[in-house]
Amino acid sequence: MLRSIARLLSRLRIEAFAVVLLGLAALTAGIREAPLVDWDEATYAEVAHEAVGSGAYLHLTWNGEPYLKKPPLLLWMVIGSFRTFGESAWAARLPSVVAGAGTLLLLYFSAAAVVGRLGGLFAGILPLGFYFFIARGGRECATDGPLIFFSTLAVFALTRARTNRRWLPVVGLASGLAILSKGLAGLIPLGVTALAVVMVPGFGAVGVGGLMLVGGLAAAMIAPWLVYELVCDGPLFWAVFVKQETLFRVATHLEIQRQAAAATLPTFVREVRYLWPIALPLAGLIIMAARRGSRLSLRRLPPAVLVWMLWFALGLTAACVVQTKLGWYVLPALLPVALLCGSILGVSLRGAAMTRGYNPVLAALALVILAAEAPGHWRHIDRSFRAERERSRPSYVLGMRARAIGAARGDAELFFAGVELPTLVYYSGMRSHFVAVSSGDLPDLPYHQVALRDPDGALSTVGNLDDEWNLSGPPEERGAAQGAAGLCWSAGASSPSNDLRWSLLADPL
């Protein structure tokens, strides 16, 4: 009886269910909580809101103007979620949560196919210790969730295409969907495919024809959207998406505070440093490899592991090369790290021929240390994430107040003396105008003031963002907001939440 139950659980892959459940538990924490975060969450939710209201799912708008900053896949997913479940914070975040949980499952199957189910379990769980996977890869309504899901799917299919060419169409289709998720970042799987064919034993069988098939299918996935945008919004699409959001992000700094080109590496190290105990079984593997001879050990590495190494190298190199330094740009490089580290633990604990002796003990010790440090590490991640959300609360409060006043007064338009705040647009529910005080557009509107203008031209004050920051901003920063952030505002920043958001993203942990 017990053997039958064991065989049943083995067939069911109970550890795969554990990976999904742990992922959902981590990624759905606070999914219903307001506000949606400036800038990305509130921006994408507003685009989806306007699309559902107008029924125009191809010609997307934000605040009544064409929205061309990002590819449409996540936006279509949020639109579908709104139409299915109704408009809410959790419906906006649901597509990212599903993509994040799916990524964990793909990591499990990727590693399990190479080093066994135990290694797959570790590979599927380890990303839950990465701040940017939790925040950008699942909890937030962001383009990174679909990007890493389809990128992981493409690499997963590529490792199988070595022996079964029927997986090649999946590589191409997934790569195209990755591009539709986040533009240029979606090219990484295609780069991994090309490098694998040239550098990894056995993948040469894919050949030029296989590469053309993958590239052709990826191009076919994105071609209808590109053609539509070029025909309908040609000059604007070229200026906004191609130049500003793609070429300029690669070639120039877009941040208020420029960071050095090497800033990406410290960010990456901060993300992976919690994995330091895995250096113990890794050292054991290196010692065993040295005893056997490095050449023999390299030959024994599965081709999939070499593909993961290429994925890591290409992802981290891309993050370093891009001149716009945003912390979450390292996210594509974190997934192969989880695969490699999970595989090290799985191989060491499995007691394979090359790891007999002390290596299982070292792996067990590493797991004990990771387990002991995990609660504190996860609490730190959760606090950092909640602090980021609280930084959007002042503009959320003003938006909700403007909505209430506007509902009582009738037809009105919102004005804000500063640059665009998507949270203010989304929660006010009305057309918003962002004006520069220095231009004299509205001389009676002080800096960071929110006001409503009725059809007769009369202004009524809603509130001031600076004052609201001291009332409803993160408690630990209210007292220091004016002094610490004030120096940055004069340099052209949009709000205290903007500047402090940059500092958090530079070092969330």
Both 201 and 251 in one domain: the answer is yes
Domain boundary among 374, 390, 406: 390
Domain boundary among 390, 410, 442: 390
Amino acid letter for position 233 = D
Both 356 and 445 in one domain: the answer is no
Helical (H) or strand (E) element with 99: helix 89-115
Paired tokens of 464: 């001031």
Both 214 and 77 in one domain: the answer is yes
Both 298 and 406 in one domain: the answer is no
Both 318 and 397 in one domain: the answer is no
Give the angle subtended at the CA of 388 by the CAs of 382 and 394, to the nearest 5°.
135
Both 322 and 467 in one domain: the answer is no
Both 141 and 10 in one domain: the answer is yes
Inter-residue contact 106 to 153 (CB < 8 Å): yes
Report the distance separating Cα 447 and Cα 435, nearest Å: 9
Sheet holding 449-453, edge to edge: 432-435, 413-417, 449-453, 459-464
Number of H helices, E strands in the chain: 24, 6
Q: Which domain holds residue 111?
A: 2-390
Domain boundary among 356, 373, 390: 390
Contacts of residue 218, Cβ cutoff 8 Å, sequence gap at least 6: 172, 173, 175, 176, 179, 190
Both 334 and 210 in one domain: the answer is yes
Q: What is the pLDDT along the chain (509 residues), one digit of tens a residue?
A: 455 545 545 566 889 999 999 999 999 998 999 899 888 999 999 999 999 999 999 999 999 899 999 999 999 999 999 999 999 999 999 999 999 999 999 999 999 999 999 999 999 999 999 999 999 998 999 999 999 999 999 999 999 999 899 999 999 999 999 999 999 999 999 999 999 999 998 898 888 999 999 999 999 999 999 999 999 988 999 999 998 888 888 888 776 555 554 588 999 999 999 999 999 999 988 887 777 665 545 667 899 999 999 999 999 999 998 888 888 999 999 999 999 999 999 999 876 544 456 788 899 999 999 999 999 999 999 998 888 889 999 999 999 999 998 887 777 789 998 888 999 999 998 889 888 765 555 656 788 899 988 877 778 888 999 888 888 777 655 544 433 333 232 223 333 434 434 343 444 44
Helical (H) or strand (E) element with 396: helix 393-409
Both 375 and 435 in one domain: the answer is no
Both 140 and 245 in one domain: the answer is yes
Q: What is the DSSP letter of 447?
A: T
Going by their DSSP bridges, the two strands 413-417 and 449-453 should be labelled as: antiparallel
Q: How many domains in the chain?
A: 2
Both 122 and 74 in one domain: the answer is yes
Both 141 and 217 in one domain: the answer is yes
